[in-house]
Structure 1
């Protein structure tokens, strides 16, 4: 299995990701944060590890993307605690919206 296959599956998942009904005010900041990019090493490693044990690694795409969303939440929290103005060269979530988001 090629790394590009995993990256493509994750990119498709992130572009199609939907959330529940509430709290809707968090959806735009989450999408913004996820669109900032990054290496996405955690979900890639999740998919690679899954592929070691099964050919059906696609079942792990949603859990792998959840790992990345959680990781980005921790980065957002770190930005708030450090009062950082930028993340990956763009305004941080608390600068663009506010720290209470």
Structure 2
């Protein structure tokens, strides 16, 4: 089952697509993708992050014990090989709407 916590944590209900936003621990998206991919050898997960540096530093600072102990096992490595992390740089600009007076 899919979860945002290490194994033995509460599971999410079935879903086809999912967007998670909120005050979760930094490794929550990693657990979500790994548990999703562990369900099926054909499963694939995509994570979108606006900042590689912030993602890496928050994961390092949090120092997830389960990931440290299990991250190198064959099953976890297999699941992680089917994860893509996309870095999306958002740029907002304010443009006044075009107005044509007749």
TM over 0.5: no
TM-score range, shorter chain: under 0.3
Tell me which structure has the larger Cα radius of gyration: 2
Q: How does the TM-score come out when normalised to structure 2?
A: 0.25
Normalized per residue, the structure richer in strand is: 2
Normalized per residue, the structure richer in helix is: 1
